[in-house]
Amino acid sequence: MLIYILDMFGTAVFAASGVLLAGRLRMDPFGVVVLASVTAIGGGTIRDMALGATPVFWITDTNYLWVIFVTCFLAMLAVRRPRRMPWYFLPVADAIGLAVFVAIGVEKALRFGASPMVAVIMGVITGCGGGVIRDVLAREIPMVLRTEVYATACILGGIIHTVGLSFDVDPAVATLAGIITTLTIRLAAIRWHLSLPTLALRG
């Protein structure tokens, strides 16, 4: 139940990030909902389609859609009535949602008989896929392709998760270890502005 609640929280946070980007691009309400939706459930949708998990999760559990719609409504109201919010609030909330999404992606892939390597990839897709779709629609370079430590945190969290299970660690403990790993690395990157080296070709 805790993981489910955190999953809904992550869905709301990811949807809110889509609303904020749509607001910066001056989209109409339909565009806002589209961008919020692909950000919140895009990664999980790609994962389920790749695993052959039909119907996809938000079709069988429409709570995800309701969370997105309510988030869009509240976020659009908040944008019209701006209040000062600490700069770190949305990145930290995003990090929590990201960590939970990765763990859920790993767990679901393993339930469908995927190898540990594929499970880690599915965790990364679950956590990052929606943001990639959002950025592509907004004609921006996706965050996972930039120097910021984002996908790397997902990969390491997924590895800790799957390695723990391979050593017969209790599934709940392995899941929690993966979540903490992803969250810790992502929060450290936010706090100390950590980034990866870039590939720069000299012309």
pLDDT lower than 70: segments of the chain: 80-83, 203
Residues 41 and 101: their CA atoms lie apart, in Å, by 10
The whole-number pLDDT of residue 101 equals 97
The per-residue pLDDT for 84 is 72
Long-range contact pairs involving 1-10 (C-beta distance under 8 Å, separation at least 24): 3/100, 3/103, 3/104, 3/175, 6/96, 6/97, 6/100, 7/100, 7/101, 7/104, 8/63, 8/64, 8/67, 9/93, 9/96, 9/97, 9/100, 10/96, 10/97, 10/98, 10/100, 10/101
Cβ atoms within 10 Å, residue 196 = 13
Q: Is-contact 102 127, C-beta < 8 A? A: yes
